[in-house]
Every structure is written in structure tokens, then in C-alpha cells.
Structure 1
Amino acid sequence: MTFRPLEKHRIKSIGWLRAAVLGANDGIVSTASLVVGVASAHVSHGNILLTGVAGLVSGAMSMASGEYVSVSSQADTEQAALAEETVELKADTQGEHQELTAIYMHRGLDYPLAKQVADKLMAHDALGAHARDELGISELSIAHPLQAALASACSFSVGAALPLAVTAFVPETWLIGSVVSVALVSLAILGGLAASAGAAKIFPSVLRVTLWSALALAVTSIVGTLFGAV
């Protein structure tokens, strides 16, 4: 019998895609907002640029450490659950078999077929079957802390570099308008690429990220103006 080859689904990339999109989006929004807020306070161009560089470095480190701690906690929880399941499989194999059978019956299989499926899967990889069907842990969802941390830091730096480059090369007179324009266009493109990579609808993603980012830029500009006036 000829078997159809396994399909490749885009959801397999959701782990790194989430971290990369979040990092780049945060890099653009936070750095652009920081630059716009400080520029609205009418400080010198050199101080604005220094603030942007400091925001890039601190933001990248914050993203990396935060993502690493968060995903490490998830990984620890997964490992603890797998260790507990391993003990349960050794202590009560029959009970775990019945539990797996009940799961398949709950999903729509009749008892003979559910029992047969549980027999086959537990004979092949008992822990893997329980991890996937009882605990919801699979290769697609398993946590990778270092990968997530590096993706977040790198993507944040790339995103933050865009408004920072505008700050470095655009005259102070045109600085705020240029930073806002580049940030919003970049964010719209990023939202569209993220939606396309995940096979989702592009327009809602672009609209969502653009509106919320514009709000963030407006708020920081108002705050900067108020402090500059003081």
C-alpha cells in the first residue's frame, strides 16, 4: 500500500514566529515611542539618539531575559508533568491504559476501537501517547527557552534599529513625523508578513497593529510635550 506523505503545516513554526513577531513589534513601538516622547520634550538631537540606543539595548536584554524565564517555567512544568506521568505508568499500567481508552471514547470512538488504539499506542510509546493525548504536550507545543530568548532579542534589535536609523539621519525638524511614519509603515508590513506566514487574514492583522501602535505613539508624544512644557 502506498501512503500519502505527511503534510507540512505552517502552525509548526508558531513558536519561533510568535517570539520573532512580538520582539520586532515591541522593538519598533517602544523605541519609536521613546524617541517621539523625548523629541516632543524638545531636547537635543544627541540626547534623543542616545535615548534610542539605550532603549534598544535595554529592551533587547529585557525581552531575552523575560522570554527565557517565561518559557523556562513552561518547560519546567512540562518536565514535571512528564516525570509524574512516567511514575504513574510504572505504578499502574492498567489504570493508565483505561484512562487512555476513556480519552479516545470521549473523542468519539466506540470501546473496542478505543481499546485497540490505546493498546497499539501504549505498546509503541506509552509516555508519548499520554503526553500528547492526556497532557496536551507535543513537539509543536514543547517549550524551547533559549530559542525563544534569542529570537526575541534579535527581532527586538532589528525592529528597534528602524526608528533609531531614522533618528540618526533625519534632521530634528522632521524627526517626529519621520519616525512615526516609518514606524507605522514598518509595523503594517510586519503585521502583514506575520499574518501571511501563519496563513491568517492580512487586513485585520495590519489594522490591529497599526491602530494600537499609533495610539502608543500619540500617548508618548503627549506626555513628552507636557514634560517639555514644564
Structure 2
Amino acid sequence: MRHSEHHRTHRTGWLRASVLGANDGIISTASLLVGVAATGADAKTMLITGVASLVAGSMSMAAGEYVSVSSQADTENADLAREKSELAANPKQEHAELTAIYVKRGLEKSLAANVATQLMAHDALAAHARDELGISDTLAANPVQAALASAATFAVGSALPLIVALLLPASARLWGIAAGSLLALAVLGFVASRVGGSSALVPVARVTFWGALAMGTTALVGALFGVAA
């Protein structure tokens, strides 16, 4: 009989970086453009602002994700090296630790000890990494993947409000950017929830709320500076 369950935890690494990148791209660029539009800036200024936001933001997201996830990977590798050393120095103590973990999860002590013995015979480091440290191949940090996913999706997200800003006349630019960006954020929240296998309502509400707050704040600041000018 074939196993028909489909889990999605293997997607969490790139999905988190992708959603973060696209969300940041839409919100940061849209907010910046809304703020600039509120000052009465012309199309050329909007284009320069939007392109600068796209390029700088993409590079910043890539660098930030790479450094952040690399730090996580360094910590994981250090823990694995320490665990490997402990396994070599005191395998009986490590067996007892693994047995205690399985007892805590609900197995009888004799069964837990037997499971620990068999798993350690197969791959002791993998067993301890997974069950003691919470590290597995599926969820292990991947800096390059996270950096590329974040940068690419930031660029795509940034391009959406920029295109809207360039297509609309000055009179409709501010509200058009805001409406288009909120729609894009709602779609992003929906798609992310579908890919992750969760309900769509909360993710959609979450991203649109924070997007509206960010754009509203920058529009107010832009209007104040525009009036002062």
C-alpha cells in the first residue's frame, strides 16, 4: 500500500525566505513610492526611487539572509562536531541520553533502550542530531538557497508597485500603488498559505494589515514634507 500523506515541512527553508523577500519587496518599495508620491514627485523621480529600492533591497535581503542562515549553519555544525566527539569519548552515556529521550516521549525503558541501540548502530550521529539536537537534513540551514530565494522574490515584489507607479497618472498614483500593493500582499498571503498547507485567512489578514500600516505611515510623512516644501 502506497503512503499517500504529503507533508510540507521540507519547504520551510526556502518558503520562509521567499515569503519574507516578496513581502518586504512589496511593502518597502510600495511604502517608499507612496511616501514620495505624496510629496508630488514626478514620474522620473518615482522611477529612480523604485529602481534604487529594488536593487538595494534585493542585495540587502540576499546579504542578510546569507549571513543569518550561515550563522545558524555554523551553530548546527558546531553542535554536530561536539556531539560526534562525545559519541567517540563516551558512547554509553550518549546511549543513555538517547534512551531517556525516548522514555520521555512515551516508550517503555526497555523498548527505548532497544530503539536507541538500533538507531545508534545504524547512524549514531544522525540519531542524536535529530532527536537530541533537533537537526535533520530536511530542516538544515541552507544559506545560499535562502539568499537567492529572498533576493529574487524581493525583486519581483518590488517590481509590482513600481510598474503600477509608472503606468498610472500622477493624480491616481498614490491610491493606485496602495491598492495594487495591498492586493499583491493578499495574493502573496494566500499563495504562501496554500504552499504551506495552512488556512489562508490569517496569513492574508496579517500581511495586508502590516502593509497598509506601513504605507499609511510613509504617506503621512511624505504629505507632511510635501506641504512643508
TM-score, scaled relative to structure 1: 0.96
TM alignment of 1:1-230, pairs within 5 A: 4-5=2-3, 7-230=5-228
User: Which amino acid in the other structure matches residue 99 of structure 1?
Assistant: E
Which 4+ stretches in 1 moved above 4 angstroms?
A: none
1:68 and 1:148 in contact (8 A); partners too: yes
**Aligned-residue CA RMSD (Å):** 1.1
Separation in structure 2 between the aligned mates of residue 89 and residue 130 of structure 1, nearest angstrom:
9
- The percent identity for this pair of structures is 57
> What is the SS of the residue equivalent to 1:159?
helix
> What is the SS of the residue equivalent to 1:209?
helix
**Which has the higher mean CA deviation after the structures are superposed, 39-48 or 60-69?**
39-48
Separation in structure 2 between the aligned mates of residue 67 and residue 39 of structure 1, nearest angstrom:
30
Separation in structure 1 between the aligned mates of residue 81 and residue 193 of structure 2, nearest angstrom:
37
1:35 and 1:49 in contact (8 A); partners too: no
> What is the SS of the residue equivalent to 1:178?
helix
Cα shift at 1:126: 0.1
Q: How many residues align?
A: 228
Unaligned runs of 5+ in 2: none
Separation in structure 1 between the aligned mates of residue 22 and residue 116 of structure 2, nearest angstrom:
44
Cα shift at 1:140: 2.5
Separation in structure 2 between the aligned mates of residue 97 and residue 15 of structure 1, nearest angstrom:
31
**Which has the higher mean CA deviation after the structures are superposed, 199-208 or 52-61?**
199-208
User: Which amino acid in the other structure matches residue 172 of structure 1?
Assistant: A
- Structure 1's 138 and 205: CA in aligned 2 closer, same or farther, altered over 3 A? same
Cα shift at 1:4: 4.6
Separation in structure 2 between the aligned mates of residue 86 and residue 204 of structure 1, nearest angstrom:
42
Separation in structure 1 between the aligned mates of residue 183 and residue 72 of structure 2, nearest angstrom:
34
